[in-house]
Amino acid sequence: MIKLTEQMRELIDSALARGCPCVVATASRDGVPNVGFKGSVMVFDDESLAYWERTRQGTLANLEENPHVMVLFRDPASRLGWRFLGTATIHRDGPLREQVMARTVPAELERDPERRGYAVIIRVDKVLPLSGQQPLQSRDD
């Protein structure tokens, strides 16, 4: 069962302001990897992360071909971190796009003044520690 914690919500939602944005890793259909910082990652609900995809480049292209994604969060100050494995859905319009945009940190929205970005919602399947492969949480539980 996946149930993202309040601690995860507090740390991830404020990660950019504390200088430790999440890293999102994707791979194309052919396995070509891409990794990038995403300052807008948030805990969207109890079992999903979301972010505002404003660059619309490599990460988005990979997600269009292969929705499997890993999000890495690490906060050196608290010495906490997690890896989230999940499946991404891109929302180019509609109410979910609007919800994610409304919750996106201002610093990220300011870099997309025309609001051309998309919402990406990631249904989390596993939560892993920073090291090791033993899941802390799994949808299969």
| pLDDT tens digits along 79-96 | 999 999 999 999 999 999
User: Has residue 141 been placed in a domain?
Assistant: no
User: Has residue 93 been placed in a domain?
Assistant: yes
| pLDDT tens digits along 56-75 | 888 999 999 999 999 999 99
| pLDDT tens digits along 9-46 | 999 999 999 999 999 999 999 999 999 999 999 999 99
**pLDDT at residue 12, rounded to an integer:** 98
**pLDDT at residue 55, rounded to an integer:** 87
Structural domain containing residue 90: 6-129
The pair of structure tokens assigned to 37 is 């910082």
CATH value at residue 77? 2.30.110.10
**pLDDT at residue 49, rounded to an integer:** 98
User: Has residue 88 been placed in a domain?
Assistant: yes
User: Has residue 138 been placed in a domain?
Assistant: no
Going by C-alpha positions, the residue among 112, 113, 115 that lies closest to residue 98 is 115
The total domain count for the chain is 1
Instruction: Kindly report the number of other CB atoms within 10 A of residue 79's CB atom.
Output: 8
Average pLDDT, the chain: 95
Distance CA 138, CA 42 (A): 19
User: Has residue 134 been placed in a domain?
Assistant: no
User: Has residue 122 been placed in a domain?
Assistant: yes
Distance CA 118, CA 107 (A): 16
User: Has residue 110 been placed in a domain?
Assistant: yes
The pair of structure tokens assigned to 101 is 């945009």
User: Has residue 115 been placed in a domain?
Assistant: yes
